[in-house]
Structure formats: C-alpha cells, structure tokens
Structure 1
Amino acid sequence: MKEEYYKWYSPHLNRDVEMLVFGHAGYPVILFPTSMGTFHENRDMGLIGAAHWFIEQGLVQIFCPESNDKQSFYNKGIHPHQRIQNHVAYDKMICHEIVERVRLNTSAAKVAMAGCSFGGYHAANFSFRHPGYVGHMFSMSGAFDIRNFMDGYQHDDIYYNCPLEYLPGLQDHELWNMKIVLGTSNWDICYDSNIKLHHVLNQKGVPHWFDVRQDKQHDWPVWRDMFPHYLSTIKFD
C-alpha cells in the first residue's frame, strides 16, 4: 500500500502543515483525525488498515491532514473570537490547499469527507458548508455543536460553523445530491447529537443513512468496522 508524506507552508494557517496520503489512485477521501489529532493518528489507530483493500485496489486515495484544534477550539488561552477565526482559517486551508486540488481526480470533481468523533464534526461541517465539493460524507460518532467551546461568545462565524444551527436554512441543491452517512451507536456519547442532525436532515427531506450500531462504545473498534462499510457505498468512477 503506497504511503506518502507531505509537508508544506500553509498561507492560510501561517505555519507548516503535515499530511499522509495512502494509495496510488481512486476516489479522494479526506479523513480528519479526532480531537487535536495528528496527521498519522488514523494510520496508527488502524483506520487506514481497515480500508486497505479499497486502497490497494486503487478505488480510493485517502488524505490524512493534521488537525488545527489545539490552535482553535481547544485553545483556552486566547479569546473565543480568535478561536473561531483560527478554525475558519483551517476550513480555508482544507478547501483551497487540499480539496480544490485533489477533487479533479474524479470525473465528478468531488471528494468524500470522513472522520471519527470530533473528526466527524469536521467532515460534516465542511461538507455542509461546501456541498458543491463533496459527493460523500461519512461521520462516525460525530458531535455537531461547538458552542461549548465558545464561552458564551456570539459571532456569525460561530453560527455558520454549527451545522445544527445553519443547516435548517441551507438551500444549496448540492446538499440533496450528497451521499450522507451518520454512524453512531446506542452507547455512543455522541448519540444525542447524531439524533438531532438526523432529525434536521429528515425535516429538510435530505436523503441519508442513519446507521445506529448496537452496544458499541465511542471508540476505534466500531469506527474500524464502519469505515470500510461506508467506503463500499461510494460509486467509484
């Protein structure tokens, strides 16, 4: 299985960014790490190994960028305004420095977004903010409310990065073309958040698969089961 390491200076983050890429060809999948995770976390925790067949067959190519959570949501040493601005800069980095380049690898010029836990938030939030770029979205035990990171501070950029808040008013027709999977479990600490997003999508009439596993913890074993299952739903081209 081909593995490549990339490091570059990001003009959006004003710092170096690291990323691992797995595979030689196929549908591009942007796979976010969990909270404050590294670019190699998904490999180290076996998620890449769980998807090895799809990678080796040239069906998918998986891009694993590092997170920016330590500089944004989890940085209690700066004002909440700067926290959300640092996240907005990360969103721009993902969009302009990764997605806009790799999406041309498919005839549809789209990518898949995926992530576990807080990575599921990043996958969902990017997908709903930029639905024209995303053909598939796989959130595994995601949480979708960032208000608890903002200490009560109010700002439009916070609203427009809370999917449960801005999604009800979203009218971009590409949202209805996206293949959406919400993976969770009845034992998942983020189960209630997934129920809420499931209801919002239902109210809008947006097709999606609400996959509730039974008696599984919010942890890597269930995500390693989910990820290859969800990859199998991609219409490879």
Structure 2
Amino acid sequence: MHFAGRVTQRRMTVPGGPRDLQVIRYGHFGRPLLMFPSEAGQAWQPADFGLIDAIAPLIDEGRVTVFTVDTLDDWTWSAYNEPTEERAHRYGTYHRWITDSVVPWIYEELGGRTDIMTTGVSMGAYHAVNMALSRADLFPLAIAMSGNYDPASFRGFGETGDATYFANPMSYVPNLHGDHLAWLRSRVGIVLVVGQGPFEWDPTRALPGTLALAEALSDKDIRHELDVWGQDSAHDWPWWHRQLAHHLPRFV
C-alpha cells in the first residue's frame, strides 16, 4: 500500500549544532511514533525506502502518527576522525534537540503532552533505544531493528568519560540500580529485532550487539522482547518493512 495521506514538514535550529534539521509528520491522528533513519540518514529516508508505506494502513486508519527526523550521525558517532568522547559530546547536542525541540513540536501538533514511541533501523535503532532508556519519561517504548547498542565500538579511540558513558546503553545499563532501576522496570519496554542473514553479523555487529543488549536488560529485569529472525533476514530495508509491520500493530 502506498501512503498518500497528510504530510507536514518543519525545519528546526539545533542549538550548538552544525546545521538546521528537518522533521516530517505522516498522518492525521494516532499514537505518535518517532522514527530514526539508518546511519547518516535524513528525515525523508524512511519514506523513500518504503518503511512509511509498510505501515501505511496504520497511519491511514488514524492508529499512528509518524514523525521522522534528520540525523547528525556524520557530525557525531560517524565522525570517525574525532575521538569517541568528542563524538559523544556532539551526540548530546542532538539528544537535546530531540528532547527540547522535536518533542515540544510533537506535543504542539497533537494538541498536548502524550507518550511517544520510538523506532529505528541500524544506527537508528541505537537512537531509538537510547532515547527510551535515557528518557523513559518521554519515550516509554522502543522498537529497534538491527542495531548495535555500543557506540564506543564505532571505530572508537581516545580517552572516554561521562559523555560516552551516559550515551552508551552497554555501559550504563549494567550499572542501573535502586529507585531509578525500579522506575525503569515499571515504565519502559524495549522490542529488539534482528536477523541472522547478510550483514547482520559483519560489518554491522547488529546480531551480537542485539544479543548483548538483551542479556544486559535481562540481568536488570527490564521489560523487553528479543525477536531473532532467520538466516535469510538481512540488514536491509525489505526485512525492516516486514519487522515493523509485524510488531507495531499491537502497540497502536
């Protein structure tokens, strides 16, 4: 099915960032879903590669409203000439843009505050999960497909500190404890989807990365689902179409 419904675009300033970024809304009503593209992708990428069409019936029925965003990956985690800690500081700029600019606009569009789901593919899966785990007050559910959740492994080098630690689920999840952990257990849910086919192991490390995060979440008894698809399920858009269309309907 081809999505032919309402589309709204908004370009926003990123305080401290290198350029303005775009947000695109698909749909007229429904539970909001914040969608992150693949590595260094732009807000139009999910539509151009068919992911919006894959869930078009849910959008047209008013069950979900999708908000896609530009990334700053080329300036943050994919800026491989920069030390890991510098990349993490830059990622913090992007994270704040999402929480301080994009989220209020979503509320404005929908007429009030509401919980927002996140989703993403490849590096976008990392963004979706880290947003949910770090700001579960805003994002209580993430559906993540083919992600690697250890940004320190993204060709990292140099000394790392707090910026990297607090942006890295594979660092902070094992250390969660006390009241905050109890609150996360009651608040957040993570759906981790990955295949066993081409490019899910090498070079993306999506399969081992997904299994590692699932184990870390299990150790902390944080609500999650692990859905491992077969050896034909590749690190590619046609499979992400099927995976999101499979999982999203029960949440909207």
Larger deviation: 175-184 or 224-233? 175-184
Task: Tell me, in whole angstroms, the C-alpha distance in 1 between the residues paired with 2:55 and 2:42.
Answer: 19
Correspondence 1:52 to 2:56: yes
Correspondence 1:223 to 2:240: yes
Contact 1:131–1:175 under 8 Å retained in 2: no
Displacement of 1:61: 0.7
Task: Tell me, in whole angstroms, the C-alpha distance in 1 between the residues paired with 2:186 and 2:94.
Answer: 25
Displacement of 1:126: 1.0
1:145-189 deviations in whole A, cap 9, x for unaligned?
A: 111343132111101111011012233413432232000112322
Displacement of 1:79: 4.4
Correspondence 1:13 to 2:17: yes
Larger deviation: 203-212 or 13-22? 13-22
The one-letter code matched in structure 1 to 2:138 is Y
Q: More strand by proportion, 1 or 2?
A: 1
Correspondence 1:138 to 2:135: no
1:83-142 deviations in whole A, cap 9, x for unaligned?
A: 221100000001111124425849882100100000000101111111111121100011
3-state SS, counterpart of residue 53 of structure 1:
helix
Question: Given the two structures, how large is their TM-score scaled by the length of structure 2?
Answer: 0.87
Larger deviation: 174-183 or 153-162? 174-183
Larger deviation: 9-18 or 104-113? 104-113
The one-letter code matched in structure 1 to 2:160 is Q
Task: Tell me, in whole angstroms, the C-alpha distance in 1 between the residues paired with 2:58 and 2:174.
Answer: 34
Contact 1:180–1:207 under 8 Å retained in 2: yes
Matches of residues 27-106 of structure 1 in structure 2 within 5 Å?
27-103=31-107, 105=110
**For the structure 1 residues 106 and 134, does the alpha-carbon distance in structure 2 shift closer, same or farther, using more than 3 Å as the test?**
farther
Aligned residue among 186, 189, 194 for 1:179: 189
**For the structure 1 residues 85 and 226, does the alpha-carbon distance in structure 2 shift closer, same or farther, using more than 3 Å as the test?**
same
Matches of residues 193-204 of structure 1 in structure 2 within 5 Å?
193-204=209-220
3-state SS, counterpart of residue 131 of structure 1:
coil
Alignment match, 1:112: 117
Task: Tell me, in whole angstroms, the C-alpha distance in 1 between the residues paired with 2:49 and 2:32.
Answer: 20
> What is the count of residue pairs matched by the alignment?
235
Task: Tell me, in whole angstroms, the C-alpha distance in 2 between the residues paired with 1:103 and 1:206.
Answer: 27
The one-letter code matched in structure 2 to 1:88 is G
Task: Tell me, in whole angstroms, the C-alpha distance in 1 between the residues paired with 2:104 and 2:35.
Answer: 15
3-state SS, counterpart of residue 132 of structure 1:
coil
Q: Aligned Cα RMSD in Å?
A: 1.9
Contact 1:103–1:133 under 8 Å retained in 2: no
Question: Given the two structures, how large is their TM-score scaled by the length of structure 1?
Answer: 0.92
Task: Tell me, in whole angstroms, the C-alpha distance in 2 between the residues paired with 1:29 and 1:101.
Answer: 13
Aligned residue among 159, 164, 169 for 1:158: 164
3-state SS, counterpart of residue 10 of structure 1:
coil
Gaps spanning 5+ residues in structure 2: where? none
Larger deviation: 105-114 or 12-21? 105-114
**For the structure 1 residues 182 and 106, does the alpha-carbon distance in structure 2 shift closer, same or farther, using more than 3 Å as the test?**
farther
Task: Tell me, in whole angstroms, the C-alpha distance in 2 between the residues paired with 1:107 and 1:197.
Answer: 33
Displacement of 1:23: 0.4
**What fraction of aligned residue pairs are identical, expressed as a percent?**
25
Task: Tell me, in whole angstroms, the C-alpha distance in 2 between the residues paired with 1:218 and 1:192.
Answer: 13
